[in-house]
Chains A and B, each alone.
Chain A
Amino acid sequence: NAGVTQTPKFRVLKTGQSMTLLCAQDMNHEYMYWYRQDPGMGLRLIHYSVGEGTTAKGEVPDGYNVSRLKKQNFLLGLESAAPSQTSVYFCATTDRGSSGANVLTFGAGSRLTVL
């Protein structure tokens, strides 16, 4: 049971290049999220999805696009990378539910450096 798998784990880009981060989950979770983690900033939500075919903006969506064509996959795209997008990116998932106890399951992270 792999849980949440992120690929690639590391990537170096030049300014202006594009790339896509893939998040794959095998837990049949409805909700998926992309966060970025920067020193002194904690985790900030970029985009999220509440189900297949849906996406929504989080706190810091500018410069990123996402797609959720299949329930198990959530893609994060950078169309024209900038040095400010150097960060560690985390994908997380959780179940749909009415209780307040839904817990996020995180991937191991993808470290992106933009030169």
Chain B
Amino acid sequence: GDSVTQMEGPVTLSEEAFLTINCTYTATGYPSLFWYVQYPGEGLQLLLKATKADDKGSNKGFEATYRKETTSFHLEKGSVQVSDSAVYFCALRGTRGNNRLAFGKGNQVVVIP
């Protein structure tokens, strides 16, 4: 079945550092790909998305490119802020018709001033 794999472990970095969170997927056909963010005490909210190969999603300084050849959708930000501290989830919507999303396990990101 469809699945998403995120890199293991929390990520701790200093303010203004470069952030990368790896995400790879397994799916048939051409899924849609998403990054969701969860701030402390809140539900998840959409950060960015891409619906076809080579699309780049971007929002709030974050970017991710849909790479069909490597089945990846890595999240990047050039200069993080303390306010970016959150849990980030990669997700996939497969080609079946029920709009179900498969989520990765999430990565806790802590940005230190």
Contacts and interface: CB of A to CB of B under 8 A. Distances in A.
Contacts of B32: 100-101
A42 B106 contact: yes
Nearest to A43: B103
B46 A42 contact: no
A80 B43 CA distance: 26
Contacts of A41: 105
A100 B98 contact: no
Contacts of A58: 100
B105 A40 contact: yes
Interface residues of B, number: 24
18 contacts: A31-B99, A42-B104, A43-B89, A43-B106, A44-B103, A45-B100, A48-B98, A50-B98, A56-B98, A92-B43, A96-B99, A97-B99, A100-B30, A100-B51, A101-B51, A103-B49, A107-B43, A108-B41
Interface of A: 4, 31, 33, 35, 40-45, 48, 50, 56, 58, 90, 92, 94, 96-97, 99-104, 106-109
Interface of B: 30-32, 34, 36, 41-46, 49, 51-52, 89, 93, 98-101, 103-106
